[in-house]
Structure formats: C-alpha cells, structure tokens
Structure 1
Amino acid sequence: MFLLLKKLACNVLRTISYKTTHAIRAAKTRSDLTPAVLVLILLFVIIYYCGYRLRTGYKTDLEISDTRELLDRNVVMDFGGPHENFVVNDSVCKIPRISTFSPDVSTNAKLAAIQAPNVICGTKLQRTKPLVSKRFDNISSRYYLHINEEWKPLYLQEERAELTCCFREIKNEASADKLIGTPCFIFKQDFIVPLDVVGTIVNCMQRGDKKIVFMDAFSFIHKRNFSKDWTNSKKVGVLLFGLDGLSQINLRRRMPKTYSYLQDNNHRWFELLGFNKLGYDAFPNIMALLTGRQLQQQKTVYACKRGGILDGCPFLWQQVSNMGMPTAYAEDCRYDSTETLRFQHSPTDYYLQPFLRAVERRLRTDTYYITPQYCLGPRLAGSYVLDYAVEFAQSFAGVGGLGIFWVNSFSEQHVLPTKIDHVFAKYLRLLKSTEVLENYVVLLLSANGMLRGRLNNLASGFYEERLPLLYISLPEAWKTTHLALFEALQLNRNRLVSPLDLHETIQHALTIGAGTREPHFTDCASCQSVLRPIKANRSCSDAGIDWFWCSCEPFVAKWCNSHASSLLLKSLLTHMNDLLQQVGLLNGTCAVLSVHTLYGVYNSQEESDYYYVKFKTLVKHAEFEAAFWYNKNSQQVLLDESKLNRLDHEATECVEHHSKLLRKLCICL
C-alpha cells in the first residue's frame, strides 16, 4: 500500500513539474511572472504537505506498524558475527539485538546533549593520603584503626598543633534511634575494633578549636566459624552483583570499559542475552529471584510484607543459612525509602544497611562534608557496597555461602552509569586478582532496564526496559569436573531466561559447590537452572514471564496521530479523571489530567481490545504508562490497575491517605 501511494505521489509530482516548466517558459515570453510564481508556491505547498503525510503516516484508523520489523531493518548491529542480529531467534520467540547508538538515539539531539555530571568525592588528599585507615590482623583475625602519622602535617593548619581522632560505633541494629550509636570515643594508635561493632564513623579534629579536618567511615566483617560437615573440603559459594536500572543495551552504551572487560573470553564471563524481566521495577523481579515465587501468586509473594518490612518473607538466604553457610546482603541507598528490600532486623549473617543508614545521615548532614549527590564522604556510595562484597568473598573463600550486593546510586538517568564504569571495571579485575572468581559462582545482573526518561520514549524503549543485563562466571577448576555447566551457558546465550530461572540457578550452583542435594522451590514448574541446557522455542509463559512484559511478542505500535488513537486516549483520560472526581479530588487537590505529549500507543497481540499507552501530562509534565481494555463501540475503558505506573517523581502527599491507585493518578496542585 505504501509503495503504491509513493508511486502515485511521484507521478503527480512529475506531472506538476512538467506543467510548471511550461508555465514558466510561457511566462518568460511575457513580462508578467505572477502565474509562474503562484505555480511554484503551489508546487512547494503540495510537496511539503505530501511529504508530511508520508513522513508522519497519518491514518484514519488504527493501522498496524510492527516495531520489530522496523528495528530489524534499520538498526545496525554492534557485535558478533554477521548473522547475530537477534537476542533470541526461534519459531516461538524473536527479540532483536538493539544497537547501542541506533538511529533513534543518534539523531535525538536532546538525548545526545545530555552529559553525565562530574562526580568527585572528597579532596585529593583525603582520597590518596587518608589520615586514618582500617587494617586487618591475619594472626588475631581482628580489625584495628591505624592513624597514618606521616600524613598528619598535611592536615594541620598550625605547625605545632595536635590532632585528636575519635570514632562513633555503628552496631547491627536497624532502628532509627540507634543508627549513630554512642558518642564519639577518642582512640589511640591501632585501636582494636570490638566484635559487636559493624562499622565506625571516624572524625579527626585539630586540638583546641575542635575543627574537623578528616572524616571517613569503615565497615567490618568479623569472621566467625560455620558448619564444617561437608562431603568436600572446599566449598564454592554464590555472589550476586546488581546494577539497578541498567539494560544490556545501556551497559554497552554507557559502560564501555566494563563491557569490554566482560567480553574478553579469558575472563570467563558468559553473557545471557535472553534475560527478560517479569515485573515492572526492581522489587517484583528481585522478589522472584530470591523467593522463587511467580508474580501471579500475588497473595503468596506479598503476604509476608508488613508496612514495607520483609522480615517474614521466605528468602533464599534462609535456606543457605540452614545449610551452614554464611550469608550477606548490602544495598546502597539515598534515604531509607529508596531501598529495594527493607528489614527491621538483620536478615543475613552480614548486613550492611545499619552502617549505610548511619553514614548516610551523618556524612550528608555534617558541615565538613557537603558532598555531591552520588558520594558518601570521600567515596562513591556504591563503593561501600562493592568493598563489602570483596571483603565478604575473601573472608569466606572456600566456605561457600551467598552474598547479594546491589548498587542503586546510578539508576536515575541513563547517562549516570558512565561515572561508575571505571570503578566497576576495577572491581571486576580485583575479583580475578584476589581469586574470588575461583571460589564463587558470580552473577552480574540488573533487575530491569531504564524505567524512566528519554530512553523509554524511543522506538527501542520497549526493549531498553525489558532486557536487563546478565553475566555469569564459573570457577575455572569446574572445567575439569563440571564441563557440562560451561557448555550449557554457551548454549543458553540466546535462550529466553527469567529471574525465576536464576532462582533455580543459584540453588543449583550452591548444591554443586557444597556437595549436597539440589532442592526445587519455584512456583514455575517449567523454570530451570541456566547451568543446564534450555530448550529452543521457549515461550515467555514457560519462563514464568507475564505476556505484558514479554519481549518476544511486543505490543503492536499504532499511529499516535490517528483519529482512533485520539478517541482511545480521550476515553482513557475521561475514565482516569472520573476516578478522581468520584472521591472529590478534582476540587483543588489534584489536577485534571490532560495530555501534553503522547509517546506511544500499543495494541496487544494476545487480546485485541487490550492497549498500552505512555504519555506526559500538561500539568507539571507528569509521566504515565497505563494498560487498559477498550471497547471501541461504547468507547468505554477498564483500567488494568496493576499495570498503571507513574514514571515521574512528583510528590503525592496531598493524597497519602487514599488508595494506591489514586496516589498514582493524582498530580497534587
């Protein structure tokens, strides 16, 4: 149809051009050029109008435009062989491989103009010549605080002045009133840290004026004995490193050093390209990963959640503790509300959150440290988590166990991962040089891609959101005893994988590493470990992925500027406003919802009356994504409340006592 229209347009333009030429020649024989000028103006208007219509694709109805076909034809692939144009490519599932700088990214001026902010934590003196450092005595297996006497003069403002250093205890208690702990205790050289102290905040002051000249924070992993009743002498544990909000596409785009390192086969990292999320944000995906529960079992998954606290949930680390192996959990956060998983009591043997909360409150409010947003004292916030991970891994090498370490700091904007690229690549090299990779199965992953911002509004945004990154490293020694695991990972590179499969994978790896029998605890009967071959032609339902989040069968894109789309969006907004009006929230509390920008209209291939839209409002530019059933005849809408999301960060205190649905809908005036 498009080719026919194009041919017709060309014939019309050729005819007009021929007539115009003769008109101009005729005008030249006369002194009056007015007819020729008018014809030229008319020709320009016709060409512009036809070009606009062809370019925007305006239709009178919801005609189909398959996003997958457009991507497959236009996107230049950026890796692998000439035929590796797909993440998954079989008779059931086809997911295109998106280029890091595909046309819609490269030509988007606003997107290209965004630069990652400069993030410099502390001063060069604090970073390179710290006044106090923590050290570990291998003989006594105890930590101590060491004052670097040789660097004292660099911190003194007066030649003969003296320094006094003190520390505040942070103990493993999560209650807010005990986060900072006791007052600042003065300590002498090589002070031995008590075993019940999980962290300290150290201040050094110039004696007399009590002016702080140095401040830092240190966490401690006090090693203790675990069960030794094993069939093999050396145990292999599992470590999870999470980078929140990072798609496999944006990893290649914004973290080239990390990506290059991971791609080097000598480092034994296997990329699983078919990793597909199964819920909207990090929480449902991490819960599926750590509990093995499908999202359809809403009562089972969330019944354990009380006021945002998850102490009663059946997490995987409880099983690991019962096996007599150590567990650890750490997650950087900016204020308590940004934590993905929250607990009242320590859920694992080693738990960094009390330390991070105390450091967050003290180092961000102390006048000595007015730090950039992504720093805590002289370090990046994520560095505390990564340091803790390496320390845990080294402390329990050969003992096994499970450690989960999540970095949230750089998930707000798609450019921010650039700032942690060099640091994270350094940590990956450290894992190899310290032989952590020889003692652990290591998973590097994200729970989801970018949920907000300009990346989601591009043609490839569907995949940016649904395809997180996933890499797995196995101990080199396993090539002798468990070669089939490496072969399975290689085979599964282009197979569909979900967080539920990773739950099985962690169990599989732990039981191999500990020489025990493997349990099966997922709700998904067809889910499996990725350390075993995954069949081709696997559907999203086989992997426990709801079709709404499935990348194999994306919604079909519709024309945004069609009359039918306008009717559909009008019906949706009327319904959303009616929900607010019914409880009296449109009388000066919440704004009337109207559209400023429509990013996309999509129709399900499973249910013809099911739609998904993303738009920005006129008031405060709030951003929504909504799924709903739409009856064309009656123009009535039924909202799918579980898939309605606010993509902006606008405060909703004005309706904090109302239902979750109304809090999402309301734009406070």
Structure 2
Amino acid sequence: MQEFGCTANLHRKIFFVVFVTSVSILMISYYDSTKLINTQMFFTTPENESTNNGTKYLVSTSKCKIVDLDPFSKDAKRYFKPLKYKSCSQHRLLTYVTKEDNISTLNVDKDLIPVYTSKDVKCCYSNVTRFVPTNNPDSSIKISDCKTFSSKVQILTDAVLVKCTESRADKKIYENVHTSVRITDEVQKKINNTDNGAKLPSVLFIGIDSISRLNFLRTMPDTYKYVNDHGWLTLDGYNKMDDNTFPNLMAIFTGYNQSRAYEVCNPKVAGMLDECPLLWFTYGKLGYITAYGEDEGAISTFNYNKKGFIKPPADYYYRPYILATEKLPKTGLNGMNYCTGPETAGERILNLIKDFTITLKDYPTFGIFWMNSFSHNEINSPMMLDNKVKLTLEELGNNGIYNNSLVIFLSDHGMRFGDIRLTETGWLEERLPFIYFSFPADFKEKFPTEYNNFLNNRNKLTTPYDLYMTLQNILVLYKMNYTVSGSDACPNCTSLFAEIETERSCEDAAIEQHWCTCAGYTETILDPTVHKSLSTFVEEKLHQITSNTSRGGGDGKCAKYIVVEFISTRLSHKLTYKSSTYILVSFKTEPKAVFEMTIKYDGDIRLGNFTSSDISRLDSYNGHSKCVDDAFLKKYCYCIKSRERIFLYGMLIVFL
C-alpha cells in the first residue's frame, strides 16, 4: 500500500509538471501567434542611415528639421499593397431622391425592378428622426411605421428608410436609407437675415481619418493629381499636436489642448459640448449655414466614449442619418463598416458633401464632413475610394463651389498602429497628416499680402492651432463683427495668413516632444544597466496611468505591465538651441502590448534622471480594454478579466 501510494504521488507529480509545461507552451504559443507587430523590424540604424549631406527636408531651420522621405521608400514599399474599389451591391440602387423647388422626392426606379426580381414589388418608407433620451442623448433615433407608396413620395424628414419586398411572399429584396438637403424654415430665416451683398466665403472641411502626407501620395494618386493640377496649396510642415482625432480637431475648432478641452467642454458630461466655444458655432451665429456629418457612428469624434450633443450642433446634422444606415445589413472591412446597405459608408459622406454645398452654394456655409470607414484601420485601404474622392472634388468644381469657398482637405494624423509604425517612415507619418487648401477664386486679388504669407508658410512648422487662428482671421478679413481670440494652448500661434516665424520650434508651436518631428532619431545600443533603469521607469509610468482613479482606473481593473523586450532604442539628433537629449523607446510588455515613449534626460543617461511626455500604443487594444470607458485609459488598460479568460481557455485546451 505504501509502495502504491508512492507510485501514485509520483504520477501526480509527473501529471502536474506536464500540465504546467503544456499550459506554459500554450500561453507562449498564443502570445506569439497573436502578435500584431513584427518585433524584428527596427528603425534606421547608423549603418544604413543617410548623412545630412544630400538629405532633403520639408522644413529646415536651426530649430526644426523635418526629413522629406520618399513616399515609396524601402520601408513603405514593404507594406504597400494595391487595392481596388469594392461595390456594395451587384445592381444599381433601386431607389433614389430627386429635388425640385426645395421639394425632395423619394423615387422607385421601376425599370430596375426586373433586375431585382421577376415578381411584383411593393415598397414602403419610414421616417427617421432624432430621439434624445436622458441617458444617451446623441445616439438614438426613432423609425416610424413603414408606409406603403407606389413609385414616389415626398420626403418631409431629414432621412427615410425604404424597404421593398415581393408583393405576395413578403420577401425583402431591397432596403436603403436616403437623406436630402431641404431649406428648412429655420435656415430660410438665417438666409433672410444675411447680407448676401457681402459675398462671404463658405468654409468646407473634407476630412479623411488616419492618412499621412506620404500615404496620401501613395494610396490616393488620382485625388493627389486633381488637387495638384488645380493649384491646391499644401503645408509640408503641418504637425499634429496630439494622438488621435478628438484633440487634433478640438485644437482646430477651439484652440484648446486636450486637457483644457476636457476642462471646458468635457465630452463625458451630457450638455457640455453644446456649450463649448466651437468655431462653427460662432460662424453659425454670424449667419453661416452649418453642417456636420461623419461616418462610423460608434467612433465619431464627439461620440466615442463621449456623450455627444444634446441639441443638433449644426443646421444640418447627419448623425441620425448615419445611425439609420448602420441598421441596414453591413459589410465590414478591417473592422470598419465599409458597406451600410447597398452603399459604402464613405460614399454616403461624399454624397452629403455634394448635396449640401451645391444646394446652398449661393449662401455662406460652414461644413464639416469626416470619413473613417475606409481609412482608419488599414494603411492601404484609402486606395479603394481614391477615384470616388477625386470625382467628388471634380463635381464640386464643375458646380462652381470653389469660386467662393475656402476648402480645407485634411487628415488628423497618419496610421497610429501596425507594423509600419516600427519603421522610420511610420514614426514620421503618424505625426504628419496631409492637408490641402483651395482658396476662393478672388482671394489672391483681394488679399495679396495674406495670400503671399500663406505661400511663405508652406515650408514652416505649422499646427492645428494655426488653423484655429486662420478660421478666425477669415471673419476679420471679411469684416464680420468678430474679435480674434488667441489660442489658449498656443499663445504664440498665429494665422496662416500672417507671417509665421521661420525659426520656430515645437515648443513655440505647443507641440509636445513626443509628437514633434523636428529632430530625427538614430538607433543606438544602450548599456544593460540603462535598459534596466528605463524598464523600471516606463513600467512605473504605465502603472500611474492605469491606476488613475479619476479616469476610471484603479480597483484592480487593469493589469500591471512588465517590460519583456525593448524593440528599439533611439537617440534624438541635437538641435543647436537645445541642451536636452531624448530617447525614443519602443517596447513589448506582458500582458501583450506594444508601446512607444519619448523620454527626456539631461547629462549622463546612466544617472537615470528621466522625464517623459506622452506614450503611444502601437498595437490594437480594443478587444481587451472594455472594462474601462475613458477613451484615454483604453489605450493603456489591459483588463485583468481578459487575461483570466486567456488563461482559462488555455487550461481548457489542456484538459480536453
């Protein structure tokens, strides 16, 4: 019996060792197989880095040198994959909208019915209206009962949902959502009270998320050729001021940085954005007809982990329309809603741009239209709608929109995550979004000094704060009753129509060092003791963020990170006016994440006197940060429950 007991104990020990080993192997295998970033990729090394001789620069001063990289550099070409447009329907749309004398009519194209079915068809429509519940003021809509119509019906609300079925079988063959710009009574009052003799210029923002200056040249050649051939002007040194869309757009429309924007316009509190001093509100009060439309309702600038607006923030607010389209069958692409029903989400925004600007081209308008669906998650996907964007810009030109409009065609930043972010071009591209301007036809003659100043500013360091000052300057140039306010975040920033200092640093332009492209970096090998002190430093910084109770951290929600590998360590190039040195570190952690941090130090790096600015997240984090609601914290939190699920899944596999 004693011998049997010893044998049993031995068997239990062997089973335990095998079990632990199996689980460990499984966890390591899982960790490696789900890597989103190839950690063998390094930034430029001293051996293959170009010297300053012959290097081209977008901006070149003693305070700022931004390298002019080839859009098809070796780094970029590794990730370049041509993509073609994908239609969301095999057939032309069965329904369409016509407009005459300010009356919008929904029509059924009866000639197309045989393409959809050989049976008789009946169609009905539902009115889509905005619904404002107390708990979710900006993300709810009402859809009325579906009313049958024969071949056409007048549209009386902002949007309609149409469904068509086979008459007898009630088999659905088609559904879509339509909207149309009608001049409402409120807009007509604004038109009546505006002095049309003043010939105020319209302002139109056309934005596409996550496209750098270089990736615009690579992936949207048709659109680039159009703006280049038609004399649109770009800012080569336009540097983002923060990580993602919200702070960069708030800098443009309020002059605030992110912390001040949350203080004054806290988007997490219902009603605060309604009271925010957004510049398009100012334009609206001065008689401009305003519009705001953005695809991808879940991640819209003012709604992603935010409360949005209680009141419609513009005369034409297209969020209810977009929310209704997302109730149609969707086709995803790279985690985004590429198709909403029979149309691409991006083309829906392009159609809104045309409808709004062409319908109201005789009146001063301020429109903001933003697209995420075909650009946000994949660096090559903008290619798919390149020609569609070009055709939209072309149609605006054919309809005379550019004659009296300042059009600002831009992005907020480049691609923020993925393999390319661990390359030299990826680091630079994230921080340098594309931006182009089309000026009213007579602007150069009316304001020659301002126009020449803009030309001279094209190769200087510029920021979203400068654009904020420019939008105010327009009101003054056209003699509106308005007094310019300085940017709260950047008191030294000025209008692009004024002469910007040539010797301008990131500090002068209120750009934190982490986002600054004025000094390049060179890969370096650090002493093991320095690596250890850096590991401790970055772990402590991450823990400070994830345990911040004011942002919803703490309470054991987020795991504590441990640095398991430095992917890259790079030292900043010296600028003559600076004594400090910066080290840019990219590192992998457990739990699985990839980060990038810019760390400042003075003197000997071995002393470990480190201070840091912001921290970038270089891999996707949406799947394991759902235990927190704060948009900032989501980038850093790895929910402990997510880790537990992975571990339990591993044990289940072993037992099975």
**For residue 475 of structure 1, what is the amino acid of its counterpart?**
P
Aligned: 1:356 with 2:322 = yes
Shift of 1:235: 2.6
Structure 1 residues 238 and 151, CA gap change in structure 2 (3 angstroms): same
- Counterpart of 1:164 (choices 115, 118, 122) is 122
C-alpha separation in 1, matches of 2:474 and 2:268: 28
Shift of 1:351: 0.7
Contact 2:297 2:322 in 1 (8 A): no
C-alpha separation in 2, matches of 1:636 and 1:468: 33
**For residue 154 of structure 2, what is the amino acid of its counterpart?**
I
Larger Rg: 1
Shift of 1:133: 0.7
Shift of 1:182: 0.8
C-alpha distance after superposition, 1:63-111 (max 9, x if no partner): x9998993565998xxxxxxxx2211223222111110123334x4xx2
**Corresponding residue for 1:82?**
none
Shift of 1:132: 1.3
C-alpha separation in 2, matches of 1:514 and 1:463: 39
**Corresponding residue for 2:34?**
none
**For residue 354 of structure 2, what is the amino acid of its counterpart?**
V
Shift of 1:622: 2.1
Contact 1:603 1:612 in 2 (8 A): yes
Contact 2:266 2:273 in 1 (8 A): no
Aligned: 1:287 with 2:250 = yes
**For residue 480 of structure 1, what is the amino acid of its counterpart?**
E
- Counterpart of 1:391 (choices 352, 355, 358) is 355
- Counterpart of 1:184 (choices 125, 137, 146) is 146
Shift of 1:490: 2.1
Taking only aligned residues, the RMSD between alpha carbons, in angstroms, comes to 3.8
**For residue 347 of structure 2, what is the amino acid of its counterpart?**
S
Given the two structures, how large is their TM-score scaled by the length of structure 2? Answer: 0.78
Contact 1:589 1:654 in 2 (8 A): no
Aligned: 1:547 with 2:513 = yes
**Corresponding residue for 1:406?**
370
**For residue 103 of structure 1, what is the amino acid of its counterpart?**
K
Helix, strand or coil: the match of 2:377? coil
Shift of 1:567: 2.2
C-alpha distance after superposition, 1:270-312 (max 9, x if no partner): 1111111111111111001011224574664554642697333
Contact 1:629 1:639 in 2 (8 A): yes
C-alpha distance after superposition, 1:234-260 (max 9, x if no partner): 331100111111110111111111112
**Corresponding residue for 2:588?**
616
Structure 1 residues 233 and 334, CA gap change in structure 2 (3 angstroms): closer
C-alpha separation in 2, matches of 1:296 and 1:574: 23
Structure 1 residues 544 and 211, CA gap change in structure 2 (3 angstroms): same
Q: Percent identity?
A: 25
**For residue 383 of structure 1, what is the amino acid of its counterpart?**
E
Given the two structures, how large is their TM-score scaled by the length of structure 1? Answer: 0.76
- Counterpart of 1:221 (choices 181, 185, 188) is 181
C-alpha distance after superposition, 1:305-361 (max 9, x if no partner): 426973332111111111011111111115357756832331111111111012112
Structure 1 stretches of 5 or more lacking a match? 1-55, 59-63, 77-84
**Corresponding residue for 2:9?**
none
Structure 1 residues 488 and 471, CA gap change in structure 2 (3 angstroms): same
- 1:37-116 paired onto structure 2 within 5 Å: 70=49, 85-106=56-77, 108=78, 111-112=79-80, 114=81, 116=83
Structure 1 residues 518 and 87, CA gap change in structure 2 (3 angstroms): farther
C-alpha distance after superposition, 1:499-545 (max 9, x if no partner): 11111212223444575555335223322221233232222233332
C-alpha separation in 2, matches of 1:662 and 1:382: 26
Range 307-316 or range 430-439, more displaced: 307-316
C-alpha separation in 2, matches of 1:192 and 1:548: 54
- 1:169-568 paired onto structure 2 within 5 Å: 169-173=127-131, 178-194=140-156, 197-223=157-183, 224-225=187-188, 226-227=190-191, 228-230=193-195, 232-264=197-229, 267-295=230-258, 297=260, 300-301=263-264, 303=266, 305-306=268-269, 310-333=273-296, 335=298, 339=303, 342-364=308-330, 373-409=337-373, 410-513=375-478, 516-517=481-482, 519-523=484-488, 524-554=490-520, 556-560=521-525, 562-563=527-528, 566-568=531-533
C-alpha separation in 2, matches of 1:609 and 1:307: 43
Structure 1 residues 289 and 178, CA gap change in structure 2 (3 angstroms): closer
Q: Aligned pairs, how many?
A: 576
**For residue 494 of structure 1, what is the amino acid of its counterpart?**
N
Contact 2:418 2:618 in 1 (8 A): no
C-alpha separation in 2, matches of 1:320 and 1:86: 37
Structure 2 stretches of 5 or more lacking a match? 1-39, 644-656
Structure 1 residues 600 and 170, CA gap change in structure 2 (3 angstroms): farther
C-alpha separation in 2, matches of 1:72 and 1:437: 43
**Corresponding residue for 1:79?**
none
Structure 1 residues 214 and 666, CA gap change in structure 2 (3 angstroms): closer
Contact 2:249 2:464 in 1 (8 A): yes
Helix, strand or coil: the match of 2:197? coil
C-alpha separation in 1, matches of 2:557 and 2:282: 52
